[in-house]
Structure 1
Amino acid sequence: MVLPFDINNIFSASESSLDQYCNAVFQLQYEYNKVYRQWVDLINPTNAAFKIPQNIPALPISFFKNHSIVTGEHMVQKVFESSGTTGVITSQHHIVDLSIYEKSFIKGFELQYGAIKDWCILALLPAYLERDHSSLVYMANKMIQMSESKQSGFYLYNYNDLAKTLMSLESAGQKTLLLGVTFALLDFSEQFPIQLNHTVVMETGGMKGRGRELTRLELHKTLSQRFGVKNIHAEYGMTELLSQAYSKGNGRYQSPPWMKVYVRKEDDPFEIFTEGTGLIQIIDLANIYSCSFIATQDIGRVYADGSFEVLGRMDHSDIRGCSLLVV
């Protein structure tokens, strides 16, 4: 299988050329991804043309739990796995080319925050560090390596050390990113409420099984008060995607140019809109070797400028359909 274009081009694509890339990727994945092809044939038996990207059929994200979603016949470099409680089937994302993932998260972050080398990266990710195959840990580790601050690093439950490091960095006026899973940020800030003036606090989600689920407003208000910051930033990413969106406050996420977010009606998956409220559907062109067209289980709102917010998740079980495929 030969890619129809240089994959690096998607990271510098203009808005006008993005539609062409989306259609080229669809044709590639329809031809060489047998799971995706069967899904498309199932829901679009007439083989209608897809003239605009939002109408390209999206694969239910739950398929990553039961199928190997790979485009083409390639050696897999790494398998990322989602988090989950014991006994729960987790998603697996088979990565053919790790360099594409690295280009995506590096460029995506730097578009919003500037050069990674200028930041001190403090990763408070205990739940993720305690298991293998986390895409978030992989991303944080690469960013730590790229940082020119010798104080960059991971933290498990060593909150005393983290507090000392933060105070040292604050005294030095060092631009710092505190990237943390939600429950750990809450625990840490409760024990060590520190006034932060040079630090961005970024939550990645993650409260499942760790106490009462907080609304975003409750969470951000609590963390803002404890850290003395105006806004809590957030990262929107998932195992099944190779790109991330970032919020600099108020829960409004901005996607990189090669990642597009739409919403679809829950009772009619063929009604898809560029703005409004519904179930989030994503095009991630960095997923060139898996599937770039994903129907998530998140409920969200997309705004006219392309930004979006996440309002919650579907209350019922995963979208089903795996049993309809013969693979």
Structure 2
Amino acid sequence: MSIVFPMHPEQIFQIENEADFQALCLKTFQNQYQHLAPYREFCDYLGRNPSNTERIENIPFLPIEFFKTHSIIQNGLRPETVFTSSGTTGSKLSRHPVADLQLYRESFLKAFELFYGPAQNFCVLALLPSYQERPGSSLIYMVSELIRRSGHPQSGFVKTDLKAFARELQKIDDQGSPVLLIGVSFALLDLAQNHPLSLKNTIAMETGGMKGRRKEMVREELHKILCRGLGLPKIHSEYGMTELLSQAYSKGNGLFQSPPWMRVLLRDTEDPLSFLEPERTGGINIIDLANQYSCSFLATQDLGRLKPKGQFEVLGRFDHSDIRGCNLMAL
């Protein structure tokens, strides 16, 4: 096989059509097959390589559990940082070595601006107590940058006094300032149920997960409670995880949209090498081209359903999967 030179990462943010996406996927697969040893071994086991892979549906999707047992970074590269999953007590954590933090920043900033506009348009408030309690959170890294770029004097991470925070949030909202309140589900529930608000200029965005603090519930039930307690017509959501460098967003009703360099495909739960058409429930496979230096083709343990116009729903997780902090809603 001829030598494959890594493409310039900026190319992923210049995707304009399906042909661009397909071409960059195949080029990324060729590069990662050559330079990412654990992925190459996995592909060889399945009998797949760049010479017999002509469509993205034929590219092997690495089970996300490999991030718990292998170092998923291209040969010879040193990570600038390592993001780790939250996990439960005693569980083995996923570790994502990130070779290029600038690529991660570009990915989450461009995706956020695509769906919401520049961060400086908002007062960004983060209600993420479980994430703040540990190092290595990719979500904390992202939100910290959004807060910094916001420039609003009251942007920041929320302290533990929810009663005082509720008063401050209502005051900012009443002044007409657009607010982005991003929070883990259990903390938003605590706020909505114990300190009801009447918000008009706030986007409330949940990142999922009860972290063992609350009973898991379906997304529809969670959003209904949050809408009632916060006085909002709908709740937004963010879908991301430690093993990804991109995020999808939902502006309501649990329908997520990905940026152009990220895509969800659904695998058959009985045949993981086969893919499903829209409206059927299957395992979520993710292509994240921002993962240029780790692995861009991942098979998650989440269950989902594809919808029209490239949207998707996250319905839950496979049975017996370990619960971790990446937008988990039990069925």
TM-score by shorter chain over 0.5: yes
Distance (whole Å) between structure 2 residues aligned to residue 291 and residue 45 of structure 1: 15
TM-score, normalised by the number of residues in structure 1: 0.94
Q: Identity, % of aligned pairs? A: 49
Further displaced range: 139-148 or 154-163: 154-163
Q: Tell whether the 8 Å contact from 1:243 to 1:286 is kept in structure 2 after alignment.
A: yes
Q: 1:210 to 1:7 in 2, by over 3 A?
A: same
What SS class does the counterpart of residue 125 from structure 2 fall into? strand
In the TM superposition, what is the alpha-carbon distance from 1:156 to its structure 2 partner? 3.8
For residues 1-327 of structure 1, the aligned pairs below 5 Å read 3-15=5-17, 16-44=19-47, 49-273=52-276, 275=278, 276-317=280-321
What whole-Å deviation, never above 9, does each CA across 1:210-237 have from its counterpart, x for those lacking one?
A: 1211110100000001111111000000
What SS class does the counterpart of residue 273 from structure 2 fall into? strand
In the TM superposition, what is the alpha-carbon distance from 1:2 to its structure 2 partner? 7.8
Q: Which amino acid aligns with 2:169?
A: L
Further displaced range: 147-156 or 90-99: 147-156
In the TM superposition, what is the alpha-carbon distance from 1:47 to its structure 2 partner? 6.9
In the TM superposition, what is the alpha-carbon distance from 1:49 to its structure 2 partner? 2.0
Q: Any stretches of 5+ residues in structure 1 without a counterpart?
A: 319-327
Q: Tell whether the 8 Å contact from 1:81 to 1:134 is kept in structure 2 after alignment.
A: yes
What SS class does the counterpart of residue 184 from structure 1 fall into? helix
Further displaced range: 202-211 or 293-302: 202-211
Distance (whole Å) between structure 1 residues aligned to residue 57 and residue 93 of structure 2: 27
In the TM superposition, what is the alpha-carbon distance from 1:161 to its structure 2 partner? 3.2
Q: Tell whether the 8 Å contact from 1:82 to 1:239 is kept in structure 2 after alignment.
A: yes
What SS class does the counterpart of residue 271 from structure 1 fall into? coil
Q: Tell whether the 8 Å contact from 1:253 to 1:309 is kept in structure 2 after alignment.
A: yes
Distance (whole Å) between structure 1 residues aligned to residue 56 and residue 131 of structure 2: 34
In the alignment, which residue of structure 1 is the partner of 2:328? Answer: none
Q: Tell whether the 8 Å contact from 1:77 to 1:97 is kept in structure 2 after alignment.
A: yes
Q: 1:30 to 1:47 in 2, by over 3 A?
A: closer
Further displaced range: 161-170 or 140-149: 161-170
RMSD: 1.6
TM-score, normalised by the number of residues in structure 2: 0.93
Q: Tell whether the 8 Å contact from 2:159 to 2:165 is kept in structure 1 after alignment.
A: no
Distance (whole Å) between structure 2 residues aligned to residue 305 and residue 295 of structure 1: 22
What is the aligned length?
A: 318
Q: 1:290 to 1:128 in 2, by over 3 A?
A: same
Q: 1:117 to 1:252 in 2, by over 3 A?
A: same
Q: Tell whether the 8 Å contact from 1:176 to 1:198 is kept in structure 2 after alignment.
A: yes
What SS class does the counterpart of residue 208 from structure 2 fall into? coil
In the TM superposition, what is the alpha-carbon distance from 1:208 to its structure 2 partner? 3.2
In the TM superposition, what is the alpha-carbon distance from 1:58 to its structure 2 partner? 0.3
What SS class does the counterpart of residue 269 from structure 1 fall into? coil
In the TM superposition, what is the alpha-carbon distance from 1:20 to its structure 2 partner? 0.6
What whole-Å deviation, never above 9, does each CA across 1:61-119 have from its counterpart, x for those lacking one?
A: 00001110001311210000001122110100000000011000001011000111111
Distance (whole Å) between structure 2 residues aligned to residue 130 and residue 299 of structure 1: 28
Q: Which amino acid aligns with 2:20?
A: S
Q: Which amino acid aligns with 1:128?
A: Y
What SS class does the counterpart of residue 295 from structure 1 fall into? strand
In the TM superposition, what is the alpha-carbon distance from 1:297 to its structure 2 partner? 0.4
Q: Any stretches of 5+ residues in structure 2 without a counterpart?
A: 323-331
Q: Which amino acid aligns with 1:287?
A: N
